[in-house]
Amino acid sequence: MAFSIKGKPSLIITFSPLFMPLSLIFKYFLTLLFCSCIHFLCIGKEVLLQDSTEDILLEDSNMKEVNPPAFLENINKKDRIWRKIEVISNSEEAFLLEGLSPHIFRIQIWVLSKGKITQYSAGRNRSFYQRYLLHKNFTFPLPKVKGSYTIWIALEIPEEGDIAFKIRSFRFFSEYAFHEYFFLGLYYGLLIIAGIYNFFLFVKSRIKLHLYYAAYMAGCILLSIREDGMAFQFLWPIFPSLNELIVFHLASPLFLLSFLVYSIAFLGLRKQKGILYALYILAFSYLFLEIFAALGLQLHFGFDWLLASISLIIYFSALRQAKNDLYSRYFVLGFSMVILGLLINLLRYFALIPSNIFTVYSFNFGIFFEAIIFSMALAQRVKVIQSERNDALSKLVVQLKENDSLQKSLIIELEEKKLLQDKVNRELEEKVRERTAELQTANDQLKTYASKVDQLNSALDLQNFSLKTEVKQATVSRLNTELVTFEKFKEIFSVENICLKTIEQLKWPRGFVCNKCGNTQSSVSQVWFKHKCSRCGSIESVTAHTLFHNTRIPLQKAFYITYLTFIEADISLDNLSKELELRKATVWLFRKKVKDRGEDKKYRKAETWQELIVDKH
């Protein structure tokens, strides 16, 4: 929480956590400016350079195009720029050659030292893990020998600024790379935190401006990785083709698109009409063409010129609104940092100013300070919201006091009503008790009547059960004397379990008897009424040792065939198979089995068809 002096927050204390990393960054840049001459030599400015340690001398032809050497006769020399560097070393310390641009499409190095030729090759079209050092820039080791050696450099289709090289000692390169990555980590960390924070603000408040700012931070990250090559190292090191698509085609238009959307939303420029509105439409149209170009339409325009023109349009629009709007002033101040960084980048791009650590990272500086200023604007906005909230709270306190007095008077009225209500409740309770006694007496009488009704119902149930049993027995007895249809037969033996239960009663009329040991105790399974003897453990199905043993015909139909065969019903085999929906061969075989059993002398005295079911010994 920020401290305050006389009720006003101290901005120095609020942003004090930023001072330590900023001081480290400042120290890093001072080191590069004033101490770099001891550790590396710039190429391309003087014909003969010497560092203060007098260890390495360079004879540079970097600013002039030279013809390739004779030993490279078999190398394709078209579409390449050749550079030659003569080096005189008075030290055996390890040095390396660094290409300052990470966007060189292809670079080849030949080092000629004491008659030996060493070749290196790199480029943005190759996997990142193929580099000599896993650094965002291209690095190549130099011989650790005293004396002179020659470096030939071939650049294939380089862009502006791709031909800058430096020779550094390994010791300085390590320190410089550590500080550079530390600075870039702070930079990207700030952008990511700002983007995520504003995204959560959008989720919480549903204010689209926060979402646009989060998208703008993502666009800034895309444009930054276009310059420093960090994404290739950490996000897609084994997919160099993504460099062409994302870094060199999509990054610029997506940054501009997010930049336009956020600026127009922040400044309310959608309400603008006339020339400004037409310029916005033109800018949006261009951006969509650029995105289509990245997807394969082969269209390309001047990104830097368009960025500068759009920036100036929005900048002057913001200036016009800043006269009456506090937040527009913050926008102008923060956006001024970005404009300054973009202008420095343009001047460096056209070689109007030298390329150094300040000019290379000018855009990063602009975005860094813009994020801080926009955070201050957000803090100011929160302060205004808190002030409005405090005013609302003070009004709420006054209202609560009024409500308290009204509540006290209301409580007195409620107490009076409560006394009256208690009196009414006592009278009602007395009446309820009287009524309850009457109802209890009536309830006792109803219980007596219900008991008598239950007794009558039980007697009726017994009579109904006896009648149903007699009817069923009469129906079963009819089966032995007259012919009934299969539908009528199924009313008696409606399900498979009834058939199984009938077989069980016929087979064991006095209960289970084991066929092997004669034991009468068993456990019964619900599947086909199987019995397991408790003594010998044998399992016997209810259909075993019966007419239906191993039959595959449903028991209902097997019962019916047995019944028809026993009473010698006059029904043809064809009609019976159709009625039962069985094959004629199946019906014929089972009917023959029943006839054979009926003709057996053991069953000749059978009076009912049920007597044919159980095997006789």
Which domains are delineated in the chain? Answer: 38-177 (2.60.120), 207-384 (no CATH), 486-612 (no CATH)
Q: What is the pLDDT of residue 260?
A: 77
Distance, CA of 580 to CA of 587 (rounded, Å): 9
Q: Phi first, then psi: what are they for 153, rounded to 5°? A: -125, 125
Look at strands 539-540 and 80-89 and give their pairing.
unpaired
Q: CB pairs under 8 A, 24+ apart, for 229-233? A: 229/102, 229/103, 229/124, 229/136, 229/137, 230/136, 230/184, 230/188, 232/102, 232/124, 232/128, 232/136, 233/128, 233/134, 233/135, 233/136
Distance, CA of 413 to CA of 561 (rounded, Å): 91
Each residue's pLDDT tens digit, 461-483? 666 656 555 556 556 666 666 67
Q: What is the pLDDT of residue 318?
A: 58
**Any idea which of 198-212, 315-329, 444-458, 535-549 has the lowest mean pLDDT?**
315-329
Q: What is the pLDDT of residue 121?
A: 87
Tell me: pLDDT of 551 over 80.
Answer: yes
**Any idea which of 76-85, 210-219, 256-265, 429-438 has the lowest mean pLDDT?**
76-85
* Cα end-to-end distance, the chain, whole Å: 104
Tell me: pLDDT of 397 over 80.
Answer: yes
List all residues 6 or more positions away from 398 whose beta carbon is below 8 Å from its beta carbon. none
Q: What is the pLDDT of residue 323?
A: 59
Q: What is the pLDDT of residue 196?
A: 93
Higher pLDDT among residues 306 and 268, named by residue: 268
Neighbours of 173 (CB within 10 A): 22
- Scanning the structure block, which residue is given the tokens 């056209």? 350
Highest mean pLDDT: which range of 323-327, 397-401, 573-577: 397-401
Q: What is the pLDDT of residue 271?
A: 65
For the segment 555-578, the average pLDDT, to the nearest whole number, is 82
List all residues 6 or more positions away from 58 whose beta carbon is below 8 Å from its beta carbon. 41, 43, 48, 49, 50, 85, 86, 87, 88, 167
Compute the mean pLDDT over every residue in the chain, rounded to the nearest whole number: 74
Each residue's pLDDT tens digit, 285-312? 666 565 555 554 444 444 554 555 556 5
User: 363 pLDDT band (50/70/90 cuts)?
Assistant: confident
Q: What is the pLDDT of residue 192?
A: 92
Note whether 369 and 334 are within 8 A (CB): yes
Neighbours of 92 (CB within 10 A): 11
Q: What is the pLDDT of residue 200?
A: 92
Eight-class DSSP state of 157: S
Among 120, 174, 123, 177, which Cα is nearest to 143's?
Answer: 120
Tell me: pLDDT of 613 over 70.
Answer: yes
Note whether 113 and 74 are within 8 A (CB): no
- Can you say how many angstroms the Cα of residue 598 is from the centroid of all Cα atoms in its chain? 77
User: 227 pLDDT band (50/70/90 cuts)?
Assistant: confident
Determine what percent of the chain is predicted with pLDDT higher than 70: 71
For the segment 366-370, the average pLDDT, to the nearest whole number, is 84
Question: Tokens standing for 124?
Answer: 């943005």
Each residue's pLDDT tens digit, 3-57? 232 333 333 333 334 434 444 444 444 444 434 333 333 333 323 232 333 344 4
* Helix axis angle, 362-479 to 326-349, nearest 10°: 110
- Scanning the structure block, which residue is given the tokens 């009256």? 420
SS3 150: strand
Eight-class DSSP state of 152: E
Q: What is the pLDDT of residue 61?
A: 39
Does this model's pTM top 0.95? My answer is no
Distance, CA of 321 to CA of 467 (rounded, Å): 102
Higher pLDDT among residues 36 and 150, named by residue: 150
Secondary structure percentages of the chain, helix, strand, coil, to 5: 60, 10, 30
Each residue's pLDDT tens digit, 112-122? 888 788 888 88
Q: What is the pLDDT of residue 557?
A: 84
Distance, CA of 547 to CA of 602 (rounded, Å): 14
Higher pLDDT among residues 137 and 324, named by residue: 137
Distances (CA, A) of 596 to 197, 291, 402, 527, 590: 94, 93, 108, 30, 10
Q: What is the pLDDT of residue 40?
A: 37
Tell me: pLDDT of 229 over 60.
Answer: yes
**Any idea which of 327-336, 472-481, 578-587 has the lowest mean pLDDT?**
472-481
Q: What is the 3-state secondary structure (H, E, C) of 105-133?
A: CEEEEEEEECCEEEEEEECCCCCHHHCCC
